[in-house]
Amino acid sequence: MKWVTRERAKVDRIACPWLIKKFVDPEAEFIFVATDKVLETAKKIDATPFDVQNVELGHHGAECTFDAILKKYKITDPAALEVAKVVRGADTGAPHLSPLSPGLGMLAEGYRAISKDDHDNMSKQFYLYDAMYAYFKSQVKEK
């Protein structure tokens, strides 16, 4: 599947590709374009648009795109749901959702600054999401 979103990704637009590759489609291809080109590009290349206004896989109320993907694809993995709280807090300006949210926001800004493009940013940050997921997976097992 092809997926398209806005360029200059930070939190949600990196977390979502990680989630998609991990739980929806390991072979997913991601395209990053200017905001005003997302819907046009999606139609042109038959891709799923995400994290833009007025699409199914976007922000709805207090929830971010990561939440929309969890719901659409019925992802109920407890560790992924914990990652969602951190992502939501960092992406929606709600740091009270998780004490880890401000740190994720800071790291996302830093990764964006040191990455040559969005694909480089994804490749660097996926390790962060893998580690966060592994941490929550181990916490869930201990409970």
Block mean pLDDT (10 aa), the chain, length 143: 96 97 98 97 97 95 96 98 97 93 96 97 97 94 69
The answer to whether 100 touches 86, Cβ cutoff 8 Å, is yes
pLDDT at 82: 96
Centre a 10 Å sphere on the Cβ of residue 22 and count the other Cβ atoms it contains: 18
The answer to whether 45 touches 2, Cβ cutoff 8 Å, is yes
User: How many residues belong to the chain?
Assistant: 143
pTM score of the predicted model: 0.94
pLDDT at 143: 63
pLDDT at 63: 95
Report the first-to-last Cα separation within the chain, whole angstroms.
Answer: 36
Whole-angstrom CA distances from 99 to 86, 105, 127 are: 8, 11, 20
List the Cα angle 46/112/132 in 5-degree steps. 85
Tokens 């007025």, residue?
54
